[in-house]
Structure 1
Amino acid sequence: MSRVRHLLRGPRPEAAPLLVGRACALVGVLDIAAGVFPRFRHSRMHAIAEVLPGALGPFAAALSLSTGVLLLLLAHGLKRGKRRAWRAAVALLPAGAVAQFTYRHSIVGVLISLALLAPLLRHRDQFNALPDPRSRWRALANFVLMSAGSLLLGLLIVSVHTERMVGDPSLADRITHVIYGLFGFEGPVDYQGDASWTVAFSLGALGLLTAVTTIYLAFRPEHPAAQLTEEDEARLRALLERHGGRDSLGHFALRRDKAVVFSPSGKAAVTYRVVSGVMLASGDPIGDVEAWPGAIERFMDEARAHSWTPAVMGCSETGGEVWTRETGLDALELGDEAVVDVADFSLAGRAMRNVRQMVKRIERAGYETRVRRVRDLGDAELERIRRAADDWRGTDTERGFSMALGRVGDPADGDCLIATAHKQDDHPGPYGDLKAVLHFVPWGTDGASLDLMRRDRSADPGMNELLIVAALQAAPKFGIARVSLNFAMFRSALARGEKIGAGPVLRAWRGLLVFLSRWFQIESLYKFNAKFQPRWEPRFVVYRASADLPRIGFAAMQAEGFVNLALPLPRFLRRRRPAGRRPCAHGTTTERSVRAA
């Protein structure tokens, strides 16, 4: 009896979105199968498939196909508890139930629709997530993806009716028939009996669905991702002036493609970016440590309001302890940050022989270095450095998120350091004698964090080593006592795995990391940083559940610029930064929910 009562109560409220989303996806797949495969519609599964929402009258195949695609599109939003997906499903399911009863007098079809509708209505409070940031470029992405999916699905529809197909049309004829059918025209493939109507209605439904969804996405109001406003940036700079020396990644919070939430007292803040449904923060919260819990609570409220997956990349050990204590999240060591104490740095000694020899060789080749504050550079030279850094980037997308500022030479960043390498050539390039650039951001009042390394590909090897040594040697005159270099992911595994006595599991893990280093700078960054004999500071990733780690990792790769899902566009069509920025949401979750409703 207890099990029966448990079944009658239905799923736990917090589990309802996931279960309903999976149920909608399953029904959608069955609807698509019923619309595509004739044998499926005449098999034993037909007793179930024909009463699914959408399988009505003479348009059964087309409507079943359309409904299946719509339910699949809604399933992801339902699993994330999105309010708009809930509204669409609540409208679609009763319409399907009424149609089933009106046209087919099918009680079973009505019951299936109501079986999905009941948990939606009962647990409606669980479907209150606000919409994600969006732009009209999503309409173009939808058109491309839906067109590709419709073309493949249409080709399958055309090909499954082989027994009623007239002749043996080629693949080109079938593709042509699909393209014509998506636009509502008759193609070159002929069928016997009513198969031609089934194929025509199905292809037309796919084309109409592609057009309707694209038009809807193109003409709905834009909701761009929140970005730092001038007021937000001023507040963050004020916090960094008082507490910026605590975290070497603090200044990177001033990236202008991030959003921010402040603690109720305004004494702490967390900056983040939303990538593929992951609310990704980086580094420790900014500001007073005692006010961190308030900022973290606001961060988690924002994640819950939008049904985003919360995650933190690269926080310190102290930051990880606060995050896990205040939120119940877990932490995993991600790697180590290389920090060089300027007072202890020297090129003398056997350990520094390789760096010393490389620097001397480059200096003998005629290179000279200059280390200056951004505010001490003229506008013309700053512009030349900016253009050179952009040209030497090597990729179309800017890489970096957690340890990258995303700009060079901004007037607001006058305290940043720029180290440059120069060499006079007989035939100077477009940037004159400039051969390499390093950019450092402030780390409190007595530190600097490496932000950017760029060099002319035609310059001699060792430019980065030369400029890092120059920056470390010039640091005392700028009052800098510590310099943070690159982050080495999985550094401890690489270091321990190559030592004598390492176990087979550790050696295998190191071997995998070395293999992945062919595409990602894992081992190379570790070895590069190790040249300067730094001390290693561990950094952590904070996550909600182990199942979220692949998604968080993929989102982090997107944020860092290693994976780019944007459509390839000509330069003149690429998105330009808007003149205004949508302000970040600093109100309470309740206030934002009321405004969104």
Structure 2
Amino acid sequence: MTAPTVPARSARVSGILRRTISRTPATIATILAVLVVGVVSRGLWEPFVESAGMYTWAYGLPAFDEGRWWTPVTGTFFVVQPLVYIPTLIALGALGALEFFRGTRVALAYFWVGQLFGVFASALLLSVLRLFSEWTWAQEIASTLDVGPSAGALACLAALIGLAPAPWRTRGWMVLLTAVIVAVLVFGTVADLEDIFAVLLILVVDRTLRPQRATVREQRLIAFLGMLAFIAIEVILALVPTDGPFGATEPLSGSFWSTAIDVVVVVVIANGLLQARRWAWVIAIILMSINVLSAIGLALLLPATDALGLDVTEIGTVELEIGTGALSLLMLIYLISVRGAFARHRRTTLGGGAEPTVAEASAMLRQSGGSTLSWMTTWNGNDYLRTSTGIVTFQKRVGTVIALADPLGPAEGRAQSVAEFIHAAEHAGLVPCFFSAGETVRAAVPDTWRSLVVADDTIVDLPGLAFTGKVWNSVRTSMNKAGREDMTFRLTRLADEPWGVRAQLNAISEQWVGDKDLPEMRFTLGTLAEADDPEVRIALAIDPHGTVDGFLSWLPIYAEDSPSGEPRVRGWTLDLMRRREGGFGPVMEYLIASSAVAFRDEGAEIMSLSGAPLAHEYPPEASLLSVLSARLSDGLEPVYGFQSLHRFKAKFQPRYETLYLLFRDEGDLPRIGAALTRAFLPDATPRQFARAGLELVRGTD
């Protein structure tokens, strides 16, 4: 491909500049106005803050006291010092970016509403705080004037963060909120107050900070980084001289050992949060709550110390304690909002004896084989019942025990495991059911039990597989297109890939999850955490530049009998399917087809594309029991696309094996419906369910 010539590149750059200028007229006009005012006022080379014009044009509480109500508008175009013009013009780039992406009217609305709100809200707050005559900072700041467009620029920046894709949206908000809070604590100027009010306004109005929508992994990571940032800021406040709202501090004015102990404790807690330890979340909540309550008490006590004859400095550095409390409040709100990420599933033992471990379940699976879904029984969050002939995997939700897939153990003993599981559940006063069970389990449950089809397991037989004939046209087209675009297929394991590839997979997954109304589904759908198992294989589609355009994860299917007596993988089950936005179009067809060829050449017998949950097409004569599954499927279709996924898998000409929900009778359905919803969406909030339009239990019309 011929490289573009210099004139061609110049024309392209000129075109980009013309488009940018044509789409940002308000920003250009604002920047020109600031520069013109700087020339006229001589603020470009002389400190405007020292000029007589400061009294006439600057905004602030003194200006409002004297009736200069025009100053919030006029003061926006002045800058206090010549050197401040550089950061000011850079900050106005946020207005330009917002105007480029959302239009002139929207950008101007954010800028001016943020600017005016910041000015008036800070003035209103200071008019109240100056009533505390003993509060030196409040008296000084209440008598200070200010100029500049920083509040409006930060409002535009906050709006831009709301446009960012997940997970960068949440990360951006956390950084911005931390920055404006620290600025108030360390510097405590009028401008800092105006900035934080503008940011908080956009936070409340736009409501784009929704940490509950992030993946569980991302929620834990932000909590981890937030705790580290919290202790880092505390160290900064202890080491750096400040002059904020609660007085001035000198370096090392507080207790060195107190700060050192805090660092060690918070680092331990942060590590526990990263590992999803419930105790770490509880301790973090307690610690943050103590800091907040202590700060509130000191803040209320500080203005009255002289009148009461108290010396609060005897109990520590007051300024540092109050500043830490403000940061703790931010962290406390976040930890409470994502509490589901640290809600450890309570271990529940049915029957007598010791509960089997994950290692025992994995060993039995390798020894006796299992179904296409059996590897999911080794995932975190499951409990196990030991029976006389094997192991049953289950989850306990809302008074219901949901057995996942077929029991583990020798095929001839699975019916006995089914019977013992039902007896143990009913003996414990719980509702038993089996989810995604096969025909063997259906035949083993009591005759009075009901069955409901929940999915069709889509199985591709690999021996002799060839993409020939008309039915394979779409698959061949995808393979040929991948060849023309120099796409590379790699079948690997996540742990074997370099950091750069793993980071791309994380980014693709976070992007896929972040913009959905509901969090990642679990139970029979894995995440990257499950894909990190050394026995799980990853299929990558990589473009010529080394960018991952999509990936799949494949779970092993162990054979029930092996001639050598050694565990043998007879096939692979599809779990994760993720693609990069704007990447290679038919990347999923390419990945599945390439994986099928690789597995076939290795001697595998089958490849399961899994059953799209809740996507079965029921015949007209089906029982009314299908209403629950059908309505849940319809409600989740706009969010997760189960039915469209089911149609996509049909391209690979699979044969189907039915998977069932097995239960005692219709009276158990309401509780089973709630339990299944919680199993699939353990971290979703009631508001998220309502927003997605879910109705768990409704009668037929």
TM-score by length of 1: 0.49
TM-score by length of 2: 0.42
Larger radius of gyration: 2
Indicate the structure whose relative CO is greater, using CA pairs within 8 Å and at least 6 residues apart: 1
